[in-house]
Amino acid sequence: MAVDPRRTALGLGRFGLGARPGDLVRAEPIEEVLRREILSGLVPLPGGPDLSAAATLLSALQAEEQSRKLARAASPDAPMPEGPPAPPIQERIYQAEVAARLGLARDAPVGFVERLVWFWANHFTVSVVRGAQLRVSAGAFEREAIRPHVLGRFRDLLLAAATHPAMLIYLDNVASVGPNSPAGQRQRKGLNENLGRELLELHTLGVDGGYTQADVTALARILTGWSVLRDGHAEGLPGATAFRRGAHEPGPVTLLGRTYLDIGPEQLRLALDDLATHPATARHVAFRLARHFVADDPPPALVARLTRTFLDQDGDLSRLALALIEAPEAWDPVQRKIRSPQEFLTATLRGLALAPDPRMVTGGLAALGQPYWSAPAPNGYPDDAGTWASPEGMRARLDLAARTGQLAAGTDPMALAEAVLGPLATDETRTALRRAESRPQGVALVLMAPEFQRR
């Protein structure tokens, strides 16, 4: 198969993280590159603090800080340490996770699998906006619950995400107690339905998936007892997932017409297995995947093809990814999707071969409205052009492009356009670059070109 330079440029933007210098000159079709990345089964793992260590360290340092406060109170005349105070431990862990994610994005040859990680992490959102516990564990959630399963089966991804400590904390399952359980009778506590509701509405069936409020309550009952260890003992370290039998609602539960016996933690696993293979789940996942990669209003034929693949392949996500890149609708030459802020900033760093500074990136994404793991609600960051292409959003992008142009003042704008856009660059963009008053302005024009903003 002959190599089509325009298709290569399109594929690197639509399915990857953006072209780096030299990436548009390839000896094999981009479809084969993407297919090989999927079939390799390799999902890069970033270096970063693991969850249990982070939770333990947080507890230790909080205790250390409390000891220092007590010592200062006992010795008010003791000299204070010189220099600025160290950032809080949760901020240091968050920045370490950001740096690890940036390193993978910078070094990925194409980045299709990395994009899948981002997609699924947003599908199963946990957010640092809920406080310090999430700030130290959101990155670990992506590393531990999402990455190992993005090329595996959806049922395994669903179980890992639903029972990860970060999800149990984020959607308040740690506060959910079976009303008729020993703990519920003793403490007079009850159900929290947040996780049960979002598992049905967002993670599996979808809002129109045919479930009722009774099903939400039923799944919440099944989820009781799934919590997080507060103290280390034989079951694990602080911060680890634990099933607390004494807080679990006793008795069988009927969910979507099927009854699940009270057999401990297996009750949840069986219920999630059935949700993972439900036809409504297949349709919901297929639609969201097609919307993310291809168009805000995805072609019905593409959604139908992905739905069939999901069902026929028992939720095999590698087969689903292959079906996506093999679908003719996915290669529409019109760039219908606007890059999200994270995609835009990553493509900028890759195209200019800039070494990312985690704090600079964090500040830039905050200005653009999409900091890492910081979605305002459980439905994740929006995935439509209307959100990201607002007047305020585009002004923020223009400011970032201008600042980046100053950082890359030695870059030839025409060479940059050839490197990151190639045949996608329009005559209008090339004319604007020739008229640029300076190299920094020219770089900013490349970054703000419609061909670069869209994928």
Tell me the per-residue pLDDT of 18-55, one tens digit each, with 9 for 90 and over.
999 999 998 899 999 999 999 999 998 887 666 565 56
Q: What is the pLDDT of residue 194?
A: 98
Same domain, 341 and 445: yes
pLDDT at residue 233 tops 60: no
In a domain, 101, yes or no: no
Whats the size of the chain, residue-wise?
A: 455
The span from the CA of 320 to the CA of 326, in Å, is 10
Which conformational region is residue 255 in: left (phi greater than 0), alpha (psi within -120 to 50 degrees), or beta? beta
Domain count within the chain: 3
Same domain, 345 and 297: no
Q: What is the pLDDT of residue 356?
A: 80
In a domain, 76, yes or no: no
258 forms beta bridges with 255
**Between residues 370 and 60, the one the model is more confident about:** 370
Mean pLDDT confidence for 409-415: 96
In a domain, 140, yes or no: no
Mean pLDDT of the chain: 92
Q: How many CB atoms lie within 10 A of CB 139?
A: 30
Same domain, 247 and 327: no
In a domain, 15, yes or no: yes
Which domain, by its residues, includes 362? 5-19+336-453
* HEC readout, the chain: CCCCHHHHHHHHHHCCCCCCCCCCCCCCCHHHHHHHHHHCCCCCCCCCCCHHHHHHHHHHHHHHHHHHHHHHHHCCCCCCCCCCCCCCHHHHHHHHHHHHHHHHHHHCCCCHHHHHHHHHHHHCCCCHHHCHHHHHHHHHHHHHHHHHHCCCEHHHHHHHHHHCHHHHHHCCHHHCCCCCCHHHHHHCCCCCCHHHHHHHHHHCCCCCCCCCHHHHHHHHHHHCCEEECCCCECCECCCCEEECHHHCCCCCEEECCEEECCCCCHHHHHHHHHHHCCHHHHHHHHHHHHHHHCCCCCCHHHHHHHHHHHHHCCCEHHHHHHHHHHCHHHHCCCCCCECCHHHHHHHHHHHCCCCCCHHHHHHHHHHHCCCCCCCCCCCCCCCCHHHHCCHHHHHHHHHHHHHHHHHCCCCCHHHHHHHHCHHHCCHHHHHHHHCCCCHHHHHHHHHHCHHHHEC
**Between residues 233 and 66, the one the model is more confident about:** 66
Q: What is the pLDDT of residue 305?
A: 98
Same domain, 323 and 252: no
In a domain, 146, yes or no: no
Band of residue 237 on the pLDDT scale cut at 50, 70, 90 = low
Same domain, 344 and 376: yes
Same domain, 356 and 438: yes
Same domain, 327 and 340: no
Same domain, 438 and 347: yes
Band of residue 2 on the pLDDT scale cut at 50, 70, 90 = confident
pLDDT at residue 437 tops 70: yes
Q: What is the pLDDT of residues 148-157, one digit of tens each?
A: 999 999 999 9
Q: What is the pLDDT of residue 240?
A: 84
In a domain, 71, yes or no: no
- Least Cα distance to 281 among 296, 268, 271 occurs for 271
Q: What is the pLDDT of residue 41?
A: 92
% of the chain with per-residue pLDDT over 70 = 91
Mean pLDDT confidence for 229-256: 82
The span from the CA of 323 to the CA of 308, in Å, is 10
Angle between helix 213-223 and 266-276 (nearest 10): 140
Same domain, 297 and 348: no
- Least Cα distance to 348 among 250, 248, 443, 214 occurs for 443
404, 154 in Cβ contact below 8 A? no
Same domain, 326 and 267: no
In a domain, 51, yes or no: no
In a domain, 262, yes or no: yes
**Between residues 73 and 269, the one the model is more confident about:** 269
Q: What is the pLDDT of residue 56?
A: 59
Mean pLDDT confidence for 129-140: 91
Q: What is the pLDDT of residue 234?
A: 46
Same domain, 302 and 368: no
Same domain, 344 and 441: yes
Mean pLDDT confidence for 195-220: 98
Mean pLDDT confidence for 428-448: 97
Q: What is the pLDDT of residues 49-92, one digit of tens each?
A: 665 655 655 665 565 566 667 666 766 565 555 677 778 888 88
